[in-house]
Structure 1
Amino acid sequence: TEESKTLGCGIASVIFVSGLISEEFYGKELILADRETVEQEADGILKEADVCDVAFLVVGDPFGATTHSDLVLRAVKLGIPYKIIHNASIMNAVGCCGLQLYSFGETVSIVFWTDTWKPESFFDKIEKNRQNGMHTLCLLDIKVREQSLENLMKGRKIYEPPRYMSVNQAAEQLLAIIQNRRLQGEEPEVTENTICVGLARVGALDQKIASGTLQQMSTVELGGPLHSLIVTGTMHPLELEMLKLFTVDSSSFENNAFQRTA
């Protein structure tokens, strides 16, 4: 969500925007402002804001990332006035699957594992939410303009192709953690049969939603990015009725879902 574009200052404004925006629409040249630019060159952005209007546009709500709070704090210190225009984000649009927003616990991020780095800390938060009867929204990893270790060490500005974690990749990592915990003598709160929800491209015309067991989520195909995964907690009967609209296998859904109803 940090990948942005910027309009040249010109007469009135510099605009940082996310996504594919037409230059014809704004009548200005669009210049890419990626995460590195936003985080490391914030002073340059604010220097322009001191002499002309700047609009900073992102995917989702402006305060879905701490980087954007940092820009506000920097602007205040420099005496630059600002105005916020809020937007929808996955944090509230996720309600489209039928799960009630006030029944969600702490949101977690699931990162891509590597051969030497396989963190599991987010799983503990999912379990804590589930023990409290709460659903967990899992935000899935995005790798944009990432450098290989070799290129990073040699200072070469060569970037890897972008990667976006899918629902089935996230589910596979969760299943691996479950197996690891069992090998350690634990019986996890989250299992292969826990009802989950996969979402893709929420808000777009081709958005996809699928509900089923965690095991089923490891094989579901929802197409292109961006994806999110929900691990359910205790569900209200109305939530169950909504999730039935998106089930990948109604028989297994019924068998597992009603074990966790309010």
Structure 2
Amino acid sequence: MFYIVGLGLCDEKDITVRGLEAVKGSTRVYLEAYTSILMVPKERLEAFYGKELIVADRDMVETQSDEILKNADKEDVSLLIVGDPLGATTHTDIVLRARALGIPVRIVNNASIMNAAGVCGLQLYNFGQTVSLVFYTESWKPDSWYDRVKENMANGLHTLLLLDIKVKEQSDENLARGRKIYEPPRYMSIPTAVQQIAETEASRGEGVLDPSTTLAIALSRVGGHTPPPGSPGETIVSGTLEDLLHTPAEAFGEPLHSLVIVGKRLHHLEVEYASEWAVDKVRWREVAEKVYGCALE
């Protein structure tokens, strides 16, 4: 059996009982280490699970899946995924590869940012398409995400923006020369994301994401209520995009960061709930009433 096990969002204790049973019964256990990160080192997982973990980077998962799936038709093999197993298309692909080889697959679900984003107080059924925001460069500033947000906004729906992660990436020079030298990991922060959003809005000029009148909620380390000593846990900051743009970077906490763009189908209870973390509570409520048309009690 090939198990794809969700680990949840925080630490070694977020795994489900069913997931832990699969791990303990597996002859090989792989840890996918590039689509997201946990808040604790691999060694803590190994100590808790009682198993050695084989780190599976992008190259292994995407081009060497046969190695992961080897003998999985005769013995149990587990692939551990931060969050929920099917939150990335990469993992859907390996399921299809396993099926093609006649290997039985079992998915063990867990919490992911897709549902844990509800911690900010916005109702999950009022979310539209989830969008990824990549790091801009001087020569590459893809803005197709803007159109997805625009569609959500037209329907009054909130948008969850997943911010870029760069793990085990090569520079253009090292890639061209075939040198296996990797850049340090980079995780997009809220300030970078909001700056890119403002830049794209200025370029497009459609008024969809006017920084002064668009409400947003920044999320950091969702699920990290009981972090390890010395490690900051969950952080939530709400305000207009303009408020977030002028908020000190340290206020947003450690990565990973996500950002929610608030849609116009906004309920007064959502406004009240998220006002707890507002940079400016008066402006938060004022924009909700005057721009979003939310009748506050």
TM-score normalized with structure 2 length: 0.80
Per-residue deviation, 1:31: 2.7
Q: Which residue is 2:215 aligned to?
A: 195
2:152 corresponds to 1:166: no
Q: Which residue is 2:101 aligned to?
A: 78
Partner letter of residue 175 of structure 2? L
How far apart, in 2, do the equivalents of 1:119 and 1:231 lie?
Answer: 18
How far apart, in 2, do the equivalents of 1:136 and 1:232 lie?
Answer: 7
Q: Which of these residues, 270, 276, 279, is aligned with residue 248 of structure 1?
A: 279
What per-residue deviation string (whole Å, max 9, x for no partner) do you get for residues 211-242 of structure 1?
A: 10001222333121100001111211111111
Q: How does 1:106-121 map to 2 (within 5 A)?
A: 106-121=129-144
How far apart, in 1, do the equivalents of 2:197 and 2:240 lie?
Answer: 12
Are residues 10 and 108 of structure 1, via their aligned partners in 2, closer, same or farther at CA, if it must alter by over 3 Å? closer
Contact 2:198 2:209 in 1 (8 A): no
How far apart, in 1, do the equivalents of 2:282 and 2:107 lie?
Answer: 47
Contact 1:109 1:141 in 2 (8 A): yes
Are residues 177 and 10 of structure 1, via their aligned partners in 2, closer, same or farther at CA, if it must alter by over 3 Å? closer
Contact 2:73 2:104 in 1 (8 A): no
Q: Which residue is 1:33 aligned to?
A: 56
Contact 2:163 2:188 in 1 (8 A): yes
Q: Which residue is 1:6 aligned to?
A: none
Contact 1:237 1:261 in 2 (8 A): no
Contact 1:72 1:82 in 2 (8 A): yes
Per-residue deviation, 1:12: 4.7
Range that drifts further, 126-135 or 41-50 = 41-50
Q: Which of these residues, 226, 238, 244, is aligned with residue 269 of structure 2?
A: 238
Contact 1:14 1:49 in 2 (8 A): no
Structure 2 segments unaligned to the other structure (5+ residues):
1-5, 7-22, 33-37, 226-232
Between the aligned residues of both structures, percent identity stands at 50
2:266 corresponds to 1:224: no
Are residues 230 and 10 of structure 1, via their aligned partners in 2, closer, same or farther at CA, if it must alter by over 3 Å? closer
Range that drifts further, 248-257 or 127-136 = 248-257
- DSSP-derived class of the 2:108 partner: coil
Are residues 11 and 93 of structure 1, via their aligned partners in 2, closer, same or farther at CA, if it must alter by over 3 Å? closer
What per-residue deviation string (whole Å, max 9, x for no partner) do you get for residues 86-121 of structure 1?
A: 101000000000101111111111000011001111
Partner letter of residue 30 of structure 2? F
How far apart, in 1, do the equivalents of 2:25 and 2:259 lie?
Answer: 44
Would you say how many aligned residue pairs link Structure 1 and Structure 2?
251
Q: Which residue is 2:31 aligned to?
A: 17
Greater relative contact order (Cα 8 A, min sep 6): structure 1 or 2? 2
2:247 corresponds to 1:215: no
Structure 1 segments unaligned to the other structure (5+ residues):
2-8
